[in-house]
A and B are shown apart, each in its own frame.
Chain A
């Protein structure tokens, strides 16, 4: 996936994305980071094809995003949003099954393939035993896994996740990120996600895209992008980055930069 000179604005007055270029490498986990309002989720929206740039374009498999029909695109990439809603009485199995819709024509789809995809996604997300439960009875962590399972059922080579760990406690955050990593390692999924936690970004990413004020300010390996100078520049926060034999690279914030993050 590639983006070329993408400009995007919600209200056509202020640009949320100011002409950015970037490359998402196939088969890698790429994490987008940056302060609130920097355009992370907007960039993910452009990458998912939901927001069409005012100028520039996003390219998937050598073809501009807007040239795909919604259905074709839904077979190329799947998205898990930060906030989701569905009728409360729908069962897990049925909601997850919606992910097969892009593979269905007017006269239904391939029943066998559909069933296999659903079984696989339920197994990956550890939801098989709860398949007939309605979603109103689920915890936040389970619900997030249901939405992930729906995206997996689409069987796309690309998976986009917008703050997948928001609203989850520490255990479920790690469980979800481990699952994401496993999907990448075992099934070669290309993954793009937005994260707020720098230590999770360090640990679970192959590449990091750092954004600020609608621009990409750094792009590369986690240890390169998340240096203490760069983090001060992006967030206006002083951090100590250390390497530990057991924990690997980790980061501890120690205070707010006096220049207020303006540089």
Chain B
């Protein structure tokens, strides 16, 4: 028992160290080159123009990418707990697309209400989730049925999202929000927005950890242990949808984060949500920060959207999970 907890502490410390390391590397890498000491001096006394640009443009996108990663990874972990299915992910089952469509609508019709976009996105995500939940449920969620229904819902919303610019003129610039995600134009305003909704979501997720663990048992077992199963399902789902929708509203569409990260978390720290949720949050932040940093450096000066990187990495991973999905959950 003791060696196990030492291993977990080492694992979390290592993860945090890597995250900080990547953050520092990302801060000094890109189209503007600067040494760490120049950057720190520039940030402190405000004389170096390069440091000012990094502060205004590079830092927000780095922080936002980490927030989006943490939110999507935890959202995936929560959905997988509710559906008892390792393939549940906000991107795969259409929640992100639903949230994206509603965000497009809001910013197209009422651009001044931008601050409320995560809540509006939440409504869109909830619609998509209810569709999938209602149609894919046959007493349980077979992995394949869930993915099929999810892909259909995803396609419907993606299609609507691509139709919208033809009808709502001012949303043209936002049109690619729904099919890709690039953090290029991130502002501190975006960061504050997601920091608000994301923190609420992550804090609520933390409170729901015991329920997530109980939902890993059968419904009737959880009921016999005094859990209000339906209430727990609704609460955990709502937080998952909130996190995914807020991420989609501010950060755009990123596939596979919610799929890949919780799976890695289960491999590293096991099925207990007390460990796997914090692990997912950290690892998700790391993954998307790496994807965004790679996207803006490997083909510089051209930029590859983080979402493209995630698809190239995440696609094969989904195939691998599908191959293994017959043997999950102790059957």
Contact = CB atoms under 8 A, between A and B. Distances in A.
Contacts of A50: 220, 223-224
Contacts of B119: none
Given A48-B220, A81-B220, A87 B226 contact: no
Interface stretch (B38-46, B49-57, B211-219): B211-219
A115 interface: no
Nearest to A45: B220
Contacts of A101: 210, 214, 225-227
A84 to B, nearest CB: 6
Contacts of A132: 1
Interface stretch (A56-64, A71-79, A255-263): A71-79
Nearest to B271: A87
B330 interface: yes
A74 B218 contact: no
Contact of B226 (A73, A81, A136): A73
B272 A90 contact: yes
Contacts of B272: 87, 89-90, 94
Nearest to B231: A70
B21 interface: no
A74 B226 CA distance: 5
Nearest to A68: B226
Interface in B194-236: 210, 214, 216-218, 220-221, 223-228
Contact of A84 (B210, B218, B228, B271): B218
Nearest to B84: A85
B270 interface: yes
Interface string A34-50: 00000000000100111
A102 B226 contact: yes
Given A81-B218, A98-B214, A132-B1, A87 B224 contact: no
Interface in A79-131: 79, 81, 83-90, 94, 98-99, 101-102
B7 to A, nearest CB: 14
B329 interface: yes
A85 B329 contact: yes
A136 B214 CA distance: 18
B35 interface: no
Nearest to B329: A85
Nearest to A132: B1
A89 B226 contact: no
B330 A87 contact: yes
Nearest to A162: B220
Q: How large is the interface on B (under 10, 10 to 19, 20 to 34, 35 or more residues)?
A: 20 to 34
A162 to B, nearest CB: 10
Contacts of B227: 70, 101
Contact of A74 (B216, B225, B270): B225
B221 A84 contact: yes
Contacts of B220: 45, 48, 50, 79, 81
Contact of B223 (A70, A83, A89, A99): A70
A94 B223 CA distance: 18
A15 B271 CA distance: 39
Nearest to A136: B330
Contacts of A48: 220, 224
Given A84-B217, A98-B214, A132-B1, A89 B271 contact: yes
Nearest to A88: B330
Contacts of B218: 81, 83-85
A72 B228 CA distance: 12
Nearest to A71: B226
Given A74-B225, A98-B225, A99-B225, 14 more contacts: A48-B224, A49-B223, A70-B223, A70-B226, A70-B228, A71-B226, A74-B226, A79-B224, A83-B218, A84-B217, A88-B330, A89-B270, A101-B226, A151-B224
6 contacts: A48-B220, A70-B223, A88-B271, A89-B270, A98-B217, A151-B224
Cβ-closest 6 pairs across A and B = A74-B226, A87-B271, A71-B226, A102-B226, A89-B270, A79-B224
